[in-house]
Every structure is written in C-alpha cells, then in structure tokens.
C-alpha cells in the first residue's frame, strides 16, 4: 500500500475513534460500489452521516476542505444516495467532512456540508 494510502487510512481511523467517542455508531467504512465510495458512514440520533475524510500533512497545499469542490460534492451525494437505496434507509441523512492534519492526525474540523 502506498504511503499516502496508509496516511489516509490512519486519518480515517482517527475520525472513526472521534465519532465513536461522541456517540456516533460506525455503520460502514470505505464502503464502495463500482461507481462510488464513502469513507465513513455513521449514525447518531436517527441521522446517517456520510463522512468524507481529508488528510493533509501540512497546510502548504491548502486545507482538506479546499479539495471538496462541486464535483466532489456531486460524487458524495451520488454515493450517499446509493448507500441509502441499497440499505433501504428512509430517514434523514447528511453529507459531512472531516479535516485531519499533521503527523499526529489532529482532527481540525468536522462539518456538515
């Protein structure tokens, strides 16, 4: 596995730990179909959160959120819709993103987008 994939996986693990500590139930991670992927699917208070994790070692190339553009939002929405349909979820759901940075995988921010 390439180093950037290892770093991304470690960042996702930190976000899952953070979510679990904050009463989210992790339903899926790295959920994939032939056409899309979701980093983390978590549930809290009857709401499903589809979480995109963006890791940056430093801010020299911008924040992780800088990489969530309209194309990425469209991909995220398509993936969420696919998960909802396959899992027959009929409740509320939101798209979220987590920005993780540095060697210590500090969670900078988690936001609904």
> Tell me: the pLDDT tens digits for 24-51?
999 999 999 998 999 999 999 999 999 9
Angle (CA) 48 88 112, round 5°: 20
Domain ranges of the chain: 3-112
The token pair that represents 4 in the structure block: 């950037």
Question: Is the four-CA dihedral 31, 35, 36, 37 of positive or negative sign?
Answer: positive
Q: Which of 5-19, 50-64, 84-98 has the highest mean pLDDT?
A: 84-98
pLDDT tier at 102 (50, 70, 90 boundaries)?
Answer: confident
Tell which residue, 26, 38, 53, has the closest CA to residue 86: 38
- Position 62 scores a pLDDT of 57
Question: Is the four-CA dihedral 76, 77, 78, 83 of positive or negative sign?
Answer: positive
CATH of 3-112, one of 3.40.50.300, 3.30.1490.120, 1.10.10.60, 3.40.1350.10: 3.40.1350.10
- Position 61 scores a pLDDT of 62
- Position 109 scores a pLDDT of 67
Residue 64, CA atoms < 13 Å, CB-side half-sphere: 23
């Amino acid at each position: 596995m390439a180093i950037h994939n290892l770093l991304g996986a470690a960042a996702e693990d930190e976000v899952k730990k953070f979510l679990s500590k904050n009463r989210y139930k992790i339903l899926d991670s790295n959920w994939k179909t032939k056409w899309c992927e979701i980093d983390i699917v978590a549930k809290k208070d009857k709401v499903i959160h589809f979480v995109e994790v963006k890791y940056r070692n430093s801010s020299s190339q911008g924040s992780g959120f800088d990489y969530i553009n309209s194309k990425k939002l469209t991909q995220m929405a398509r993936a969420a819709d696919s998960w909802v349909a396959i899992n027959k979820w009929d409740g509320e759901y939101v798209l979220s993103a987590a920005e993780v940075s540095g060697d210590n995988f500090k969670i900078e921010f988690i936001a609904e987008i």
